[in-house]
Amino acid sequence: MRKIAVFASGTGTNFDAIQASIEEGKLNASIELVVVDKSDALVIEKAKAKHIDTFVFNPKSYATKNDYEREIVSECKKRNVEWIVLAGYMRILADCLLEAYPNRIVNIHPSLLPAFKGKDAIGQAFHYGVKLMGVSIHYVNAEMDGGKIIAQKCFDVLDGMTHEDAEREIHKIEHQLYPETLRKLLEENEDEKSVS
């Protein structure tokens, strides 16, 4: 069983999907820690309801990004976290975390990368008038939404589809694709470990 930390900033719908997949026996992992950068984020209560440790911090309380990341790494290492899963975490990672977990940090983004990086990707794509929208799961590096793509899934933007319709479709894909991709990723990594 792989130990993971989930980083989030909001309602935690992807946290829900990952935890449900674990509880259903589809994902051989355990969420050891939920890291949150907003004290009013709904995901905190969701984690507590599942008896999962949380580390909630205010970035403004630290002099630099590396200062709070050092604390995050310490909290992860205490719990033997092997992988970091970003699920609606709205901060670009610094060297501290990237170096502590090389090729072990993944993110989900609501666009078909490399198009529409950054904030409000759904709005960007929708207002651009694209005919295909979708979700990308990628490794995290120092560039915003710039790491190697692991998985993507798309859908046709139909005539008359509203921004809200597109958002619903994106979330539906996210909640199925993220746990499924994590399962494959962690299984492959386990296989590689047993060979070496």
The per-residue pLDDT for 126 is 85
- Out of 51, 109, 138, 163, pick the active-site residue: 109
The per-residue pLDDT for 79 is 97
Angle at 25 between CA 23 and CA 27, to 5 degrees: 95
The per-residue pLDDT for 23 is 97
Phi, psi of 29 (to 5 degrees): -150, 170
Question: Which residue, 81, 105, 100, 85, is CA-closest to 2?
Answer: 81
Name the 3-class secondary structure at 196: coil
Concerning whether 109 is annotated as a catalytic residue, the answer is: yes
User: Distance (Å, rounded) from C-alpha 106 to C-alpha 46?
Assistant: 21
Which class in CATH covers the domain with range 2-110+135-152+171-195? alpha beta
Question: Which positions make up the binding site?
Answer: 12-14, 65, 90-93, 107
* Global confidence as pTM: 0.92
| Domains in the chain: boundaries | 2-110+135-152+171-195
pLDDT at 195 over 50: no
pLDDT at 190 over 90: no
To the nearest whole number, what is the mean pLDDT of the chain? 93
The per-residue pLDDT for 76 is 97
pLDDT at 18 over 90: yes
pLDDT at 194 over 50: no
pLDDT tens digits along 21-63: 999 999 999 999 999 999 999 999 999 999 999 999 999 999 9
User: 134 - beta bridge partners?
Assistant: 154
Query: Mean pLDDT over residues 137-150, rounded?
Result: 93
User: Distance (Å, rounded) from C-alpha 134 to C-alpha 111?
Assistant: 5
End-to-end CA separation in angstroms for the chain? 18
Q: pLDDT-derived band of residue 188, with 50, 70 and 90 as boundaries?
A: confident
pLDDT tens digits along 95-131: 999 999 999 999 999 999 999 998 899 999 988 999 9
Cβ-in-10-Å burial (0-12, 13-18, 19+) of 143 comes to exposed
Q: Is the peptide bond before 179 cis (omega within 30 degrees of 0)?
A: no
